[in-house]
Chains A and B, each alone.
Chain A
Amino acid sequence: MSSIVNAIPIWLVVLIKSAIVLLIVITTFAYSMLAERKVMGWMQLRPGPNRVGPWGLMQPAADAVKMIFKEDLTPNTADPLIYRLAPFISLVCAMGTFAIIPFSASADGTLWSVGNVNAGILLIFAIGSIGIYGISLAGWASGSKFPLLGSVRSTAQMISYELSMTMSVIGVLILAGSTALGDIVNAQLRLWFVIPQIVGFVIYLITAVAETNRAPFDLVEAETELVGGFHTEYSGLRFGLFFIAEYLNMITVSCLATLLFLGGWDSPIPGLPSGGLVGLLWFILKAGAFLFFYIWLRSTLPRFRYDRLMAFGWKVLLPVATLNLILTAVVVAVWPVHA
């Protein structure tokens, strides 16, 4: 068996793995969108989409067909090249992160991911930062005022919230002593980092919402004031790409929260097996809980005002995250947790 596996060239293995992950991720995107509409519907005393297929299960397919057949418009004032390029930057960056995220691990410690990078968390943040270019450039290249306002907001919001997010994650990195995602999960086998890093966890949750441009931090899109913000001018498939990117980012931050704070594929109930297929189930459950939390958040909280968003990021989240980081560093320096 292993000789057959070893005989397959590495590029083919990566290709197959990528195809599988891509398929799973796209399906997850499609149904997280349906889940969002359903859950938000229930919270607002409506049934949500239920016309296409049984229980509305074919709704994502119907939406995809609609997106594909819509006209692809480019405004006269737009910068054509950047305008067309921007959605792809967003999408590629959103998808790229899934190459590194491990979804589970075998008993011998092999990670279930496309690639195992020893600076995994850094790479994910780096890719995420590039993804913001998609939004900023889209707003700028649209050549009209609402998208421009949206992209200005996105730039400011991303800079201020990415900082706090990274700060909140460094605490985890100090505890785990590694930036590889597999090692971070393995370091949590005794105790999930959500307990020692509860402050970091809360800050991560808040900043992750801002990072993914979701309510109550969706000032970048802000339908009621910016008419869609950066994607006002986009239509058809290009708008769909932004849409996919937004949901993929949501899934990414959920997966990341699971890996960093909730022990990834580690079993939440002592005694049950973690890792392997069961571990994948734990991972999906945990990440799904985060996705539900984001939907819940969206239907509960109203949108922040722009100045309050900035004030909250710089005056509350960043100092608290820094304090948490310093405290963690001091504690780890005094009582080393890892040999």
Chain B
Amino acid sequence: MRKNLFNVGALFRGFSTTFSYMFKRMPTIQYPSVKKQHAPRFHGLHELRRYDDGKERCIGCELCAIACPANAITVIGAENAPEDRRSPGERYAARYEIDELRCIFCGLCEEACPTDAIVLTPRFEMADYRRGAFVYAKDRLLVPPEAGLGTSPDERPNGIPADLGAVMRVKDTVDIETGYEATNRGHILRTQRRGLAAGPIADQSS
């Protein structure tokens, strides 16, 4: 006890540490007004995509529902009527529901999909007061035809549930070069990108 009590050097070191921390840069992101730049392969809310001509990509094959480890996806397929074709194939998804409370955002549905219809977007603000609101049906999953191709999910009409406020600025915290340092996938990504001047992700972070 005596040794600790009279260790004045340790006291000074402690005080200087806390004092110097007053002037350090804070890592805080003022969340609702400033949003973090997500990782390039972030797994967030799903969306059902369309083809260029406005037809749904989903053909109602239910492979996503089979692949889903959490049994979160319900697909009920139906035959396309010849006069009103929803999708290019024979069938389309009459009902497509994802229970986002069950979903573990693993992305296996994305990989199972033969037509790249279901994809995970970077959207993560899904908070709601009712449990029922987390069952996303086609009305919220399907990209509206008027949204246009290549519109980012945040800017799409009907695409944003429970938005917490306007985004003033996106804070770039992810460095693709170092952020994926440890993974084999990062190595592959870097090798693929070598020589590309400005990919879509480099655009976002600039």
| Given A296-B15, A300-B14: A43 in contact with B1 (beta carbons within 8 A) | no
Which chain B residues lie closer than 8 Å to A311 at the CB level? 1
Report which of B1, B23, B26 forms a contact with A308, defined as CB distance below 8 A.
B1
Distance of A157 from chain B, by nearest CB (Å): 17
Report which of B5, B14, B18, B28 forms a contact with A46, defined as CB distance below 8 A.
B28
B21 touching A44 by the CB < 8 A rule? yes
Distance of A51 from chain B, by nearest CB (Å): 9
Distance of B154 from chain A, by nearest CB (Å): 23
Report which of B5, B24, B30 forms a contact with A45, defined as CB distance below 8 A.
B24
CB nearest to A297 among chain B residues = B15
A301 touching B14 by the CB < 8 A rule? yes
Cα A299 to Cα B19 with chains together (Å): 10
Interface check A39, CB cutoff 8 A: yes
Which chain B residues lie closer than 8 Å to A125 at the CB level? none
Which chain A residues lie closer than 8 Å to B201 at the CB level? none
B19 touching A45 by the CB < 8 A rule? no
In chain B between 7 and 29, which residues have their CB closer than 8 angstroms to a CB of chain A? 14-15, 17-19, 21-24, 26-28
Distance of A303 from chain B, by nearest CB (Å): 14
Which chain B residues lie closer than 8 Å to A316 at the CB level? 5
Which chain B residues lie closer than 8 Å to A300 at the CB level? 14-15, 17-18
Task: Pick the 3 closest A-B CB pairs, nearest first.
Answer: A42-B22, A300-B18, A43-B18
Listed in ascending order, the chain B residues whose CB lies under 8 Å from chain A are: 1, 5, 14-15, 17-19, 21-24, 26-28, 30
Given contacts A45-B27, A296-B15, 17 further A-B contacts (CB under 8 A): A42-B22, A42-B23, A43-B18, A43-B19, A43-B21, A43-B22, A46-B28, A47-B26, A47-B30, A50-B30, A296-B18, A296-B19, A300-B14, A300-B15, A308-B1, A308-B5, A316-B5
